[in-house]
Amino acid sequence: MSQVHYISSQPLSLEEIHTIISRNYTLALSEEAEQKIQTCYDYLHQKITAADHAIHGINTGLGALSKKAISTGDLEQLQRNLMMSHACGTGDEVPQEVVKLMLLLKVQSLAYGHSGVQVQMVKRLIDFYNREVYPVVYQLGSLGASGDLAPLAHLCLPLLGLGEVHFQGYKLDSKHVLEMFSWEPISLKAKEGLALLNGTQFMAAYGVAALLQAKRLSAQADLVAALSLDAFDGSLEPFHELIHRIRPHKGQLQTAKTLTETLEGSELIKQPKAHVQDPYSFRCIPQVHGASKDAIQYVEQVFVTEINAVTDSLSIFPEEDEIISGGNFHGQPLALALDFMAIALAELGSISERRTYQLNAGTRGLPEFLIAEPGLNSGYRVSQHTAASIVSQTKQFCTPASIDSVPSSNNQEDHVSMGANAATKMHKVVQNVERVLAIELLNAAQALEFRRPLQTSPALEKLIAAYREAVPFVSTDRILHTDIEKSIMFLRSYGM
């Protein structure tokens, strides 16, 4: 049986999310969360019954239509209409692993008991998660303010038996999946459409997925860089602790320590060096990789705050007897952080490509393009071209989205974050950096073979032994696409 994670007011960490997802935990509401949701729902409906004034999104229209009063008999229809009219997404589908995170984060946000929703509705979202019923959500359509309106509408349409879902490898109308499980469509009550549509769970889910990969890629960048440094006959002097102690950025100190420990016991690194200095792509690994580590840590702080927050438009406080309309749906904190992380990760790819270039250059006793008979064989020459192409594209993805804003909704929503676009660009940056690191690993492993019989460190020999089971040494030209793909898959599994 799978383990259960009980949704509660206890904050989630990235590590806990990784455990929940990777170990296939099922979700359930804690007693505390269920009570908070019910208390808030009861309070809201008492206030609606007694209300003699307009409450935005409950007995009025939404956004620019907030001046339009809605009669009591139409309150439920209003919520249903909101859900359908906001399902304006288009473009590529959101990957199912991101949709799964969206469901988890939406449930977490609703469970704090400030959104006025039915317990039954939250439990149905949990059912979707546990049964691996993943709504079809589209990447384009959110401005990253007023929440991720279009993506969240598509996420929640299946509650009503509308829209499509992925289930067991098939794309189906959601009504058919409801029938399979004998689930009745949810009848949305006052405020529930607003609670489902408002929120930053599209941006946040992409960000969490990117952060989990970024932390892995940051660690692997250090490992691959250490291998490249040794294969290049580089010097360990720039990694000396004293240098970094007098410029004590946390990530820089950590990177220098990691590479020093990784290369401990290497015969190659102890060899006398004929050259005075290494190129910056080797010499400045602690400074560049370290700065990216510090950036990733900052972004993690932003996202941990966000995933443990309520990002509704209309927040309900039963204990304080307050219903307050605010702007917690605005994605600016996430948009800025996502743009920052894209740049930080892109730099890991940029410096990686430079090390690949240096390994291919035919210097320091290595053959041109890392092949025994260059000329007859092209060796790894075009693998560096591929890395350069990817790095160039990644730079284009790093144009900040957060500096843009296009007013909408008759200028009611006159400043938006564009955090959703920052999120989908970030997803592409992560994929590209992984590819560039895989190409560096491919080249570094090949270069190392030309240093034999000398050995690198025990830690790196272990890496090479495992890698060679997937990708053998290249003695004459072969199709490198396959080797690159195998290298990517190796990075995804090695030591993680």
Q: Are residues 161 and 304 in the same domain?
A: no
Residues 366, 445: contact at Cβ < 8 Å? no
Regarding whether 186 and 226 lie in a shared domain, the answer is: no
Q: What pLDDT is attached to residue 367?
A: 95
SS3 content of the chain, % helix, strand, coil (to 5): 60, 10, 35
pLDDT in tens, 306-320: 999 999 988 999 999
* CA angle (7 as vertex; 4, 11 as ends), nearest 5: 120
Residue-range definition of the domain harbouring residue 454:
206-493
Are 217 and 321 in a shared domain? yes
pTM of structure: 0.94
Count: domains in the chain: 2
Q: Is 173 helix (H, G, I), strand (E, B) or coil?
A: strand
Same-domain pairing of 194 and 211: no
Are 343 and 434 part of one and the same domain?
yes
The residue out of 199, 232, 249 marking a domain boundary is 199
Tokens of 98: 């991101």
Report the distance separating Cα 65 and Cα 410, nearest Å. 9
Shared-domain flag, residues 112 and 158:
yes
**What pLDDT score does 405 carry?**
87
Q: How many CB atoms lie within 10 A of CB 334?
A: 28
Structure-token pair, residue 65? 């239509």
What average pLDDT does the segment 137-158 reach?
95
CA distances from 425 to 97, 136, 418 (A): 16, 19, 11
Indicate which CATH number applies to the domain containing 396.
Answer: 1.20.200.10
Q: State both tokens at 330.
A: 């605005």
**Where do we find the tokens 């009745």?**
184
| Closest-CA residue to 482 (of 470, 468, 494) | 470
Q: Which amino acid, residue 6?
A: Y
Indicate the residue among 199, 218, 238 that finishes a domain.
199
Q: Are 303 and 204 in contact (CB under 8 A)?
A: yes
Segment 426-474, tens digit of pLDDT: 999 999 999 999 999 999 999 999 999 999 999 999 999 999 999 999 9
User: Are 382 and 242 part of one and the same domain?
Assistant: yes
In 3D space, the residue among 298, 302, 288 whose CA is nearest the CA of residue 254 turns out to be: 288
CATH assignment at residue 177: 1.10.275.10
Instruction: Tell me the per-residue pLDDT of 361-417, one tens digit each, with 9 for 90 and over.
Output: 999 999 999 998 888 999 999 999 999 999 999 999 999 999 998 988 877 888 899
Report residue 63's pLDDT band, with 50, 70 and 90 as the boundaries: low
Regarding whether 309 and 171 lie in a shared domain, the answer is: no
**Does 85 lie in the same domain as 70?**
yes
- Does pLDDT of 61 surpass 80? no
Residues 139 and 252 in one domain: no
Q: Do 301 and 441 fall into the same domain? A: yes
Short-list 213, 212, 296, CA closest to 250: 296
Q: How far apart are CA 167 and CA 165, in angstroms?
A: 6
**Domain stops at, among 146, 175, 199:** 199
Are 158 and 284 members of one domain?
no
